[in-house]
Amino acid sequence: MELGSYPENIRNFCIIAHIDHGKSTLADRILELTKTVAHRDMEEQLLDNMELERERGITIKARAVRLSYKAKDGIDYTFNLIDTPGHVDFNYEVSRSLNACEGAILIVDASQGIEAQTLANTYLAIEQDLEVVPVINKIDLPSARPDEAKEEIESVIGIPADDAPCISAKMGINIEAVLEQIVKCVPHPKGDKEAKLKALIFDSYYDAYKGVIVHIRVKEGTVRLGNKIRMMATGAEFLVMEIGYMGATGLIAAEELRAGEVGYIAASIKSIGDTKVGDTVTLADDPAEEPLAGYRNVNPMVFSGIYPADGSKYGDLRDALEKLRLNDASLSFDPETSIALGFGFRCGFLGLLHMDIIQERLEREYNLDLITTAPSVVYRITKTNGEIMLIDNPTNYPDTAEIQLAEEPMVCTHIFSPSEFVGSIMELCQDRRGVFKDMKYLDEKRVDIHYELPLNEIVYDFFDALKSRSRGYASYDYEIVGFAPSKLVKLDILLNGDVVDALSFIVHTDKAYPRARRITEKLKENIPRQLFEVPIQAAIGGKIIARETIKALRKDVLAKCYGGDITRKKKLLEKQKEGKKRMRQLGTVSVPQEAFMAVLKLDE
Amino acid sequence: MNNGKNIGLYVHVPFCLSKCPYCDFYSVKYGNEAAKLYKSAVIRNISHYKSKFDTVYFGGGTPILLWKEICEILEKADIESSAEITVEANPCLANEEIFKALLKAGVNRISFGVQSLNDNELKSLGRRHSSFTAINAIELAHACGFGNISADIMLGTEDQTAASVTDTLKGLASLPLTHISAYMLKIEENTPYAKTRLKLPDEDEVCEIYLNTVAFLEAKGLNQYEISNFAREGYACAHNIKYWNCEEYLGIGPASHSFYKGERFFVKRDINAFCESEIQKTELEEKHPASAEEYAMLRLRLCDGLNLKEYEKRGGNAKKMTENIKKLPRKLVFLKDGNVLLTSEGFLLSNTVIGRLLGY
């Protein structure tokens, strides 16, 4: 493939779509049509190459690929397709990926219309001055209503959609129209290849041989093999060992990347922490004066303790987390000790999905059996002595007497739903201490409900509750807006009189009683009877607010050991031996792992 | 052959007239021809193993159905003159001819499946006999010359109460019995009982019944020596004690288990396969029998308990076990003169307690 030498012939774009609306399928069709990948090499959904991504139908990390397309005007164009993560947790990464583009294809499902996430990302794209190119997908479905979808795009987003191509990515219908639309509508990149180098980092990943591979979009100037580069935010400097662009099935080395181009750099970078998404790459010897706008340090918002179920796997867990962090600078973890769970890590995540993904990857890819504690958000506590603390672990929550002001993070939430579920969704938000902001009808049938909610109320099971109240139709998106004062308390759980640190959590006063009752009940269900009676108590400070009792076990006996058949007795003993591995000894009480998990899933 | 050690013989007689709805021991319907084939197979096996036995136990099934065959088998086996020889019997099959023939063949212990002396309980257990039949059978056996008679009873059966059990125990205490086995009912999978809705006493009631039984029998001179077994002085079942002592025994017949010449093995639950094979086909069940753990697990079922020195001799960690005792309530288990002993309440929780003592 020829390097596109004129910026006029380059088109940098991404695809915005809701889960299942066909982003990966369209990307696959484009790769096929531009013959970037021979049909026989096509692996379904080539861009999402993490197993988990394919299963969940989401993109976790951004990817990019260069294609070449001979348009109907007879000119060879170079396309850079930059795939973006589709989830709110990765909002910042999305914004940086979008910033590497001049245009965005907006895929709308012809039968389902616009969803909350699509809208959030489309607004992000418009904010970044991207040209949005709407495409109506899945027109092959009998329920397809392409005209209504177009109307919705015009009325909700406010961009013309009249000439939006109507396609079926799955069936390969009308894909070429999309490519022509890109050529026609997406502006070519601007930028001076002679100017001082400014390249945006929009993704990076760790390669065992080459070190960190940094994906960049050159905004100004030129970067060449052998250049000494500097990351403007971190100040780290490296020598460019390899440079080039991303083919669909591998890296293709080149001599240089010029303003307008998208490609990669390998520079023997050992730590992904040196290559922060959003940072600006410049030349160490001839640096730009100002970095590109928009960089920020991403802070984890949700924290959870992760412990190996088998204490001897602590080292394995640390290794696995370290490996995951090689590719995920937004994952943070610090060693933590719990009396109940032993040695583990306090991990910080961008959001709930991020947390879920990390836990699942640890279990699946690294074969670890984990116990996780209830997710917590970061609370801001102003103590009476004026000291300000950020608390991400209930264990560190100060004594009430020392607290002058407690604050919790708030989010601004948009919920999209068919109008018939409005009542029940508002009830849910109200119950979650939400403050109603406003509500807009997107059309006769669909509404956008806007609430301000405490993050603490949605980290738990908000998404599940929302889905069950809307028969799966509602979607939501949120954005952190800051801290607000709140009446918080720390709830402790006691087993047989001893506090179990791993079960403590911070909760709003109004929620303390019902939550305490629910947890004690759940624990009673999940802790087997012991040789003695075990009280389960929930307490705020020294005050017990809920109690359950596990009655003592009275009978567990094999009465008959007949005819010399001792196999049964042996099996029982084996079962006990196995069971012990899944038990945590908390003082005198044996608690199965399941009990810890069960309190994380408190049904409504 | 047996290094001077005493070896027990267990013969599983897998024939019944009908199946009781709670029972999951292996048995098939009784037939004359089948019994003969079975007997020949047992005799073939006994001559094959060439051991001398000092205890013999015919269990089942309903062994007494094959009383004639049992007499023939005993004739062919090499048995110590002082051996304890037990046959399990059904109260329905009690008559002078049978008892006399068995006594003549050397049987000196008979064990009746009485289950209860309450006719409603017997009916709900699907038993063919009444309390009257059971009492008569025991008295007849005694009159014929059996000096060592045992009765099995069941605890925690349908509609049973502490009072009804006491009545059964009172009745038994007035009979010429030397031994009682009292088993708490366990609902076994794949039995009709598992599919029936039963009005069973709850867990606390069953515990009550069990503890009452222990106290009542002790007061009558039938002392507990194992979780479910009680005997007058000198009448503990020598054969069964071998199991709990990790001593060797040879099992013959389908569904029989053996600990023989250092190996634990068993025979499949298949009467035809057993009769058709020259020698029974066995399957290994344990490569390292009589380990410290196995020994502890079995010995702790006995009222004499586990001797820590003996435990240590077999490779057990006595120190650790002593520490584990301290972590358990004194009313369940205690240490006395170097022996670990479970109390009656400890027996009720013996699965958990033994596991804890072993560190699980």
Tens digit of each residue's pLDDT (9 = 90 or more) over A62-97: 478 898 899 999 999 999 998 776 565 677 788 888
Q: What's the pLDDT score for residue A38? A: 52
Nearest residue in chain A measured CA to CA from B247: A564
Q: Which pLDDT score is estimated for A410?
A: 95
- Given a cut of 60, whether residue B198 has pLDDT beyond it is yes
- Please give the pLDDT value at position A85: 66
Tell me the pLDDT band of A294, cut-offs 50, 70 and 90.
confident
> Where is B102: in which H helix or E strand?
helix B96-104
pLDDT at A39 over 70: no
Cα A87 from Cα A477, distance rounded (Å): 9
Name the 3-class secondary structure at B345: helix
- Identify whether the C-beta of residue B360 lies closer than 8 Å to the C-beta of residue A576: yes
Query: Which of A533, A557, A583 is best to mutate for the B interface (most B CBs within 10 A)?
Result: A557
Q: Which comes out higher in pLDDT, residue A433 or A157? A: A433
Q: A530 to chain B nearest CA, in Å?
A: 9
Strand B179-184 and strand A376-377: the pairing is unpaired
- pLDDT attached to residue A184: 94
Per-residue pLDDT band at B5 (split at 50, 70, 90): low
Place of tokens 């026609």: A184
Residue A540: strand pairing partners: A491, A543
Is the pLDDT at A134 greater than 90, yes or no?
yes
Which residues are bridge partners to A104 per DSSP? A14, A132
* Whole-number pLDDT of residue A602: 64
Distance in Å, alpha carbon of B119 to nearest chain A alpha carbon = 23
pLDDT at A45 over 50: no
Q: What is the ipTM of this complex?
A: 0.91
Closest approach of A121 to chain B, Cα-based (Å): 54
Give bridge partners of residue B111 from the DSSP assignment.
B88, B150
The verdict on a CB contact (< 8 Å) between B184 and A559 is: yes
Chains A, B: CB contacts under 8 A, how many? 102
Query: In the prediction, which pLDDT does B288 show?
Result: 77
Highest average pLDDT, of A369-373, A477-481, B72-76, B282-286, comes from B72-76
Q: Cα-Cα-Cα-Cα dihedral of B42, B44, B45, B47, to 10°? A: 120
**How does strand A488-495 pair with strand A498-499?**
antiparallel
Mean pLDDT computed over B318-343: 95
Are B350 and A558 a contacting pair at CB < 8 A? yes
Q: How far is CA A588 from the centre of its chain?
A: 39
> What's the rounded mean pLDDT across residues A233-248?
92
Per CB-CB distance under 8 Å, the chain A contacts of B244 are 561
A401 Cβ under 8 Å from any chain B Cβ: no
φ/ψ (deg, to 5) at A391: -110, 115
Tell me which residue in A555, A559, A579 faces B228 most closely, judged by beta carbons. Answer: A559
Task: Say whether B356 and A531 touch across the interface (CB within 8 A).
Answer: yes
Q: Distance between CA atoms of B344 and B353, rounded to whole angstroms?
A: 12
A343: closest CA of chain B, how far (Å)? 22
CA distances from A388 to A382, A392, A396, A505 (A): 4, 13, 13, 20
Distance to chain B for A576, nearest Cα, Å: 6
B297·A569 Cβ contact <8 A: yes
Whole-number pLDDT of residue A274? 86
CB spacing of A570 vs B259 below 8 angstroms:
no
Residue of B nearest to A584 (CA): B360
CB B114 within 8 A of CB B134: yes
Query: Which 545-564 residues of chain A touch chain B by CB within 8 A?
Result: 553-564
Q: For the residues A476-493, what does the mean pLDDT come to? A: 90
Cβ contact, residue pair B59, A553, below 8 Å: no
Which of A533, A565, A585 to probe the B interface (max B CBs under 10 A)? A565
- pLDDT of A57 reads 44
CB distance A231 to A274 below 8 Å: yes
- Can you tell me the distance from the alpha carbon of A340 to that of A355, in angstroms, rounded to the nearest whole number? 22
Kindly list the distances between the CA atom of residue B302 and the CA atoms of A47, B225, B228, B240, B241, in Å, as whole numbers in the listed order.
68, 6, 9, 11, 9
By Cβ distance, the residue of B243, B329, B349 closest to A557 is B349
Q: Residue A208 CA to chain centroid, in angstroms?
A: 24
Q: What is the CA radius of gyration of chain B?
A: 20
In 3D space, the residue among A213, A231, A332 whose CA is nearest the CA of residue A267 turns out to be A213
Q: What is the distance between the alpha carbons of residues A139 and A143, in angstroms, rounded to a whole number?
A: 8
Q: Does the pLDDT of residue A314 top 70, yes or no?
A: yes
| Candidates A532, A554, A570; nearest CB to B348 | A554
Listed residue (A25, A38, A116, A31) closest to A67, CA to CA: A31
Give me the amino acid identity at B36: K
Asked if pLDDT for residue A4 goes beyond 50, the answer is: no
Lowest mean pLDDT across A300-309, A351-360, B133-142: A351-360
Asked whether the predicted pLDDT for residue B290 surpasses 70, the reply is: yes
pLDDT on residue A2: 41
B4: confidence class by pLDDT, cuts 50, 70, 90:
low
Q: What is the pLDDT of residue A62?
A: 44
Query: Given a cut of 80, is residue B298 above it in pLDDT?
Result: yes
How many residues belong to chain B?
Answer: 360
Residue B207, chain A, CB below 8 Å: the answer is yes
Q: How far is A336 from chain B (nearest CA, A)?
A: 27
pLDDT at A18: 78
Higher pLDDT, A572 or A228: A228
- Can you tell me the distance from the alpha carbon of B195 to that of B223, in angstroms, rounded to the nearest whole number? 36
Smallest Cα–Cα separation from A293: which of A235, A350, A233? A233
Contact flag A554-B207 (C-beta cutoff 8 Å):
yes
Query: What residue in A sits closest to B61 (Cα-Cα)?
Result: A563
The alpha-carbon gap from B249 to the nearest alpha carbon of chain A, in Å, equals 8
Chain A: residue whose CA lies nearest to B350: A557
Q: pLDDT at position A588, please?
A: 80
Which residues are CB-neighbours of A533 under 8 A, at least 6 positions away?
A549, A550, A551, A552
Mark yes or no for CB contact A559/B354 under 8 Å: no
Chain-chain contact of A554 with B228 (C-beta, under 8 angstroms)? no
**Nearest in space to A225 (alpha carbons), one of A209, A206, A238:** A238
Please state, in angstroms and rounded to a whole number, the distance separating the CA atoms of residues B80 and B100.
Answer: 21
Alpha helices in A264-404 (DSSP H): 314-327, 352-365
Distance from CA of B214 to the nearest CA of A (A): 14
Spell out which residues of chain B touch residue A534, defining contact as CB-CB under 8 Å: none
Instruction: Please determine, for residue B345, whether its predicted confidence score (pLDDT) is greater than 90.
Output: yes
Contact between A596 and A373 under an 8 Å Cβ cutoff? The reply is: yes
- pLDDT at B190 (0 to 100): 87
Q: Is A39 on the interface with B (CB under 8 A)?
A: no
Torsions phi, psi of A334, nearest 5? Answer: -135, 145
Q: What is the pTM of this model?
A: 0.70
Contact A500, A494 (CB under 8 A): yes
B-chain residues within 8 Å CB-CB of A573? Answer: 293, 297, 354-355, 358, 360
pLDDT at A355: 86
| Interface list for A 564-603 with B (CB within 8 A) | 564-567, 569-570, 572-573, 576-577, 579-580, 588
pLDDT at A56: 47
CA distances from B200 to A513, B157, B193 (A): 38, 6, 11
Angstroms from A523 CA to nearest CA on chain B: 21
Q: How far is B184 from chain A (nearest CA, A)?
A: 6
**Alpha carbons within 13 A on the beta-carbon side of A281:** 35
The whole-angstrom separation of Cα A129 and Cα B116 is 90
Query: B205 at the A interface (CB within 8 A)?
Result: no
Report the Cα–Cα distance between both ends of chain A, in Å, rounded: 57
User: Which whole-number Å values give the CA distances from B148 to B110, B242, B336, in the listed order?
Assistant: 7, 18, 31
Choose the weakest-confidence range: A227-231, A465-469, B32-36, B250-254.
A465-469
Q: What is the mean pLDDT of chain A?
A: 87
Q: Which residue has the higher pLDDT, A205 or B4?
A: A205
Say whether A558 and B327 touch across the interface (CB within 8 A). Answer: no
Q: Residue A37: what pLDDT?
A: 56
Indicate if the pLDDT at residue B140 is higher than 90: yes
